[in-house]
């Protein structure tokens, strides 16, 4: 599963792979060269062979070459005004204490903001200067409400005709959106406009918006950037909006805070409803928590703004549960602000990941050892390349303490794919704890991480992240014993225990719908070892992937 450094031949093969990577991905080459260098430097211990001095010098030189290459790429990005890449290269060098001395994060950020101002993008330039909401704010005045309604639009996606039993029906999607930029940019939900950008969609799709002041006019719009993970999208029209919304800061938002929702429920534009924040940090997205609100939300509200009493956007409506009145959810504005630069850059937004599955590890008797337990590593991706063993516990990212999986995810969200991170933690063997540090490069997170597991690993191994069952093969090719069960997993809820016997009968991935279906024949202790058939289903995405 990990890169094999066990003999000189495999080590030299890895050196050739790193040399090839320098032509396409200097950051990946850097982190692999550093891991190789560290391995050879530690050679001669009980479990590592001794290498020649010549080979040790070659790996040290390779590491130095990749450092120089990344530094050159940093200055090239600076020269080109590509501040995203400049930040990515700078942070990767900083992890190895090789950051260019004449630069720092603040200087890079200031240049990025200056570039946005030059381009006329005041929305991005002013993201960090937003005044947070305060308890002293009063309900928006009538003239404020009127202007905000005029900055809210109905998003209309015409999907042609839907044929049912030989009869054609008009097929359209209605949502809401709101202007954030006087150049005609507006925000909505990804799921409202998904047919415009989904490569698997093969039907007719045309995107329009309707203004509150002229609901009969359909104004063409196009999708600039989209993010299926956070369910957000940035659209562009060629009109000057009558008003724009100011993005707020939910740092001081609390349960019980009064909020207002503006949108087009059932296509009825200029609708405003009110309520409160019912709960925070509900884990309904793969990354990040969302707000639970009790403001009335219906079909058509999706993508509309949630504002505070000062009239600033605090969230974006994205979901409601029809059978539970008042149980609705919104994406916090902080998540929108986090990805807004990528949305403006255009195309699909990429989030970082390390190619692993884990859980919060929080022993009550030892809070200092709390962190993220690495349950599973995808073969050939970041953590496996870095040599992080399964059952290791990660306690810090780039020196920032993490005690929960949510902390860990938040740290990763602040980084770019293609950046190196330093992970601190420990491994434990025979009751002895050993502090560790690993260097790993962040990959772009796939929309369905589970699909990558199914491509790269064996079916029996996939049972660990998918169903929480650690299987070990016995007897026949498809028969296994359960070594361990992750508490709270699908396997745990299905009544499996350690030492149960499982035979895989059907293994049915449905990547398009994002699920894995399996049928197993099992002998479970909790059922008196009586033989039974069990069907289980698992999503190919989960907040536990990182």
Residues noted as catalytic: 191, 231, 302
C-alpha to C-alpha distances, 446 to 374, 441, 511, nearest whole angstrom: 19, 15, 12
Alpha helices (runs of H) in 22-82, residue ranges in sequence order: 26-41, 53-80
Q: 213 - beta bridge partners?
A: none
CA–CA separation, 72 vs 86, rounded Å?
Answer: 10
Q: 432 - beta bridge partners?
A: 429
Q: How many Cβ atoms are within 10 Å of 454's Cβ, its own excluded?
A: 17
Q: Which two tokens stand for residue 419?
A: 């950046």
Q: Which two tokens stand for residue 357?
A: 């599955």
Sheet holding 185-188, edge to edge: 214-220, 206-211, 152-164, 167-181, 185-188, 232-236, 222-227, 347-348
Token pair 């900055």 in the structure block, residue: 151
Give the phi and the psi of residue 231 in degrees, each rounded to 5.
55, 50
The sign of the dihedral angle between the CA atoms of 150, 155, 160, 161 is negative
CA–CA separation, 96 vs 66, rounded Å?
Answer: 12
Q: Look up residue 527 and give its DSSP letter.
A: G
Phi-psi region of 391 (alpha: psi -120 to 50; beta: other; left: phi over 0): left
Angle between helix axes 26-41 and 8-21 (nearest 10 degrees) is 160
C-alpha to C-alpha distances, 425 to 123, 369, 408, nearest whole angstrom: 39, 9, 12
C-alpha to C-alpha distances, 409 to 231, 250, 284, 412, 523, nearest whole angstrom: 17, 19, 14, 5, 37
- Strand 222-227 with 347-348, pairing: parallel
Using an 8 Å Cβ cutoff, are 356 and 545 in contact? yes
Angle between helix axes 83-95 and 26-41 (nearest 10 degrees) is 0
Q: Which two tokens stand for residue 66?
A: 């990749």
Angle between helix axes 53-80 and 8-21 (nearest 10 degrees) is 10
Tell me the three state secondary structure of residue 236: strand
Using an 8 Å Cβ cutoff, are 483 and 497 in contact? no
């Amino acid at each position: 599963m990990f890169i094999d450094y066990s003999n000189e031949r495999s080590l030299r093969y890895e050196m050739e792979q790193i040399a090839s990577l320098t032509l396409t991905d200097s950051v990946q080459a850097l982190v692999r060269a550093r891991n190789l260098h560290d391995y050879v430097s530690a050679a001669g211990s009980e479990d590592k062979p001794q290498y020649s001095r010549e080979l040790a010098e070659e790996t040290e030189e390779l590491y130095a070459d990749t450092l120089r290459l990344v530094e050159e790429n940093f200055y090239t990005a600076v020269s080109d005004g590509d501040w995203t890449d400049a930040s990515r290269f700078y942070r990767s060098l900083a992890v190895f204490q090789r950051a260019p001395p004449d630069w720092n994060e603040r200087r890079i950020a200031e240049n990025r903001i200056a570039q946005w101002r030059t381009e006329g993008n005041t929305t991005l330039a002013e993201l960090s200067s937003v005044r947070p909401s305060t308890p002293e704010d009063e309900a928006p005045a009538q003239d404020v409400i009127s202007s905000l309604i005029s900055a809210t639009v109905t998003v209309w996606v015409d999907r042609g005709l839907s044929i049912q039993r030989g009869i054609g029906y008009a097929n359209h999607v209605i949502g809401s959106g709101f202007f954030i930029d006087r150049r005609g940019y507006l925000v909505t939900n990804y799921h409202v406009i998904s047919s415009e950008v989904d490569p698997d969609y093969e039907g007719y799709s045309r995107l329009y918006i309707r203004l509150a002041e002229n609901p009969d006019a359909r104004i063409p719009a196009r999708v600039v950037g989209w993010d299926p993970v956070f369910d957000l999208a940035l659209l562009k029209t060629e009109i000057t909006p009558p008003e724009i919304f100011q993005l707020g800061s939910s740092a001081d938002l609390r349960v019980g805070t009064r909020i207002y929702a503006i949108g087009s429920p059932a296509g009825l534009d200029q609708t405003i409803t009110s309520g409160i924040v019912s709960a925070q940090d509900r884990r309904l997205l793969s990354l990040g928590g969302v707000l639970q609100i009790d403001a009335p939300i219906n079909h058509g509200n999706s993508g509309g703004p949630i504002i505070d009493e000062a009239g600033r956007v605090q969230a974006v409506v994205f979901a409601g549960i029809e059978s539970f009145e008042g149980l609705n959810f919104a994406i916090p504005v902080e998540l929108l602000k986090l990805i807004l630069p990528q949305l403006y850059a255009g195309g699909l937004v990429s989030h970082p990941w390390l190619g692993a599955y884990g859980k919060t590890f929080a022993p009550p008797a030892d809070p200092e050892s709390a962190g993220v337990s690495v349950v599973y590593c995808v073969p050939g991706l970041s953590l496996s390349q870095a040599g992080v063993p399964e059952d290791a516990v990660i306690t810090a990212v780039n020196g920032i303490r993490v005690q929960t999986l949510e902390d860990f995810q938040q740290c990763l969200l602040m980084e770019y794919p293609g950046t190196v991170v330093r992970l601190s933690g420990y491994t434990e063997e025979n009751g002895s704890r050993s502090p560790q540090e690993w260097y790993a490069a962040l990959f772009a997170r796939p929309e369905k991480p589970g699909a990558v597991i199914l491509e790269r690993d064996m079916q029996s191994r996939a049972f660990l992240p998918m169903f929480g069952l650690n299987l070990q093969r016995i007897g026949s090719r498809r028969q296994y014993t359960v070594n361990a069960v992750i508490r709270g997993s699908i396997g745990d809820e299905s009544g499996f225990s350690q030492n149960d016997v499982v035979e895989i009968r059907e293994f049915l991935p449905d990547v398009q719908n994002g699920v894995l279906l399996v049928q197993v024949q099992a002998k479970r202790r909790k059922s008196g070892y009586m033989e039974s058939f069990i069907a289980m289903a698992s999503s190919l995405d989960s907040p536990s992937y990182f």
